[in-house]
Amino acid sequence: MTVLNAAADRSFDNQVFEGVAPSATDFAGYKFTKCVFKGCDLSNIKLTGSLFMDCEFLDCNFSNVKIGGCSFRGVTFTGCKFIGVIFDAVNPFILDWCFRKCKLDMCSFSTLKMKGSRFIECVVHKTDFLNVDLTESDFSGSDLNGSQFDNAILEKSNFTGARRYYIDPTKNRLKHARFSHPDVLSLLAPFEIKIGD
């Protein structure tokens, strides 16, 4: 396993880190540009104030990582695990990310303006999306069991193929959002309507 050492200038460009174990728990204020991380265990690492630009993470573990003030611009996460990550405090400036086939459990994205975010074929359990702007976002094929949407802007978002979600149309903005049958019927749950022959 490779060890990721702290760089004197706190900057890494065009590097590939495979099977990396950080040599320290504090990587706050670092800058990573066009880097690829494969199978890295970043759990419990402090990335506060760091910048990731045009980076790719493959099969990485972000459990309990600290990312307050962290910037994600053009970042893709594929097959990664996030447990207990509080995304609320990330830097919202030019926030641009995509999650594909990731596991997100007990995380929070509340209060963020994250238009166009993508959660493709992810398992997103017990995660909060409170007071968040998710306009034109994509949750297609994702399992959203136990996740909470409240006062969320979901206009023009894509939920086709998504399942086990609970979204109250009276508490969230859903204009032009797309859903697929039969899971779309869950939108009626808050009204306690019985559907049958």
pTM: 0.89
Q: What is the pLDDT at residue 24?
A: 60
Q: Which two tokens stand for residue 74?
A: 């053009």
pLDDT greater than 50 at residue 2 = no
Q: What is the pLDDT at residue 6?
A: 57
7 in helix, strand or coil? coil
Question: 179 or 151: which carries more pLDDT confidence?
Answer: 151
Tens of pLDDT, residues 9-35 = 689 999 999 987 666 667 789 999 999
Q: What is the pLDDT at residue 185?
A: 54
Q: What is the pLDDT at residue 31?
A: 94
The mean pLDDT value for 57-77 works out to 95
Task: Return the CA Rg of the chain.
Answer: 18
Tens of pLDDT, residues 55-66 = 999 999 999 999
Distance (Å, whole) CA 109 – CA 160: 21
Distance of CA 2 to the CA centre of its chain: 26
Tens of pLDDT, residues 81-123 = 999 999 998 998 889 999 999 999 999 999 999 999 999 999 9
Distance (Å, whole) CA 15 – CA 55: 10
Per-domain residue ranges for the chain?
3-191
Tens of pLDDT, residues 138-148 = 999 999 999 99
Other CB atoms within 10 A of residue 152 CB: 25
pLDDT greater than 80 at residue 156 = yes
pLDDT greater than 60 at residue 133 = yes
List Cβ neighbours of 8 (8 Å cut-off, separation of 6 or more): none
The mean pLDDT value for 47-58 works out to 95
Question: Is 3-191 CATH 2.102.10.10?
Answer: no
What stretch of H or E contains 128?
strand 128-130
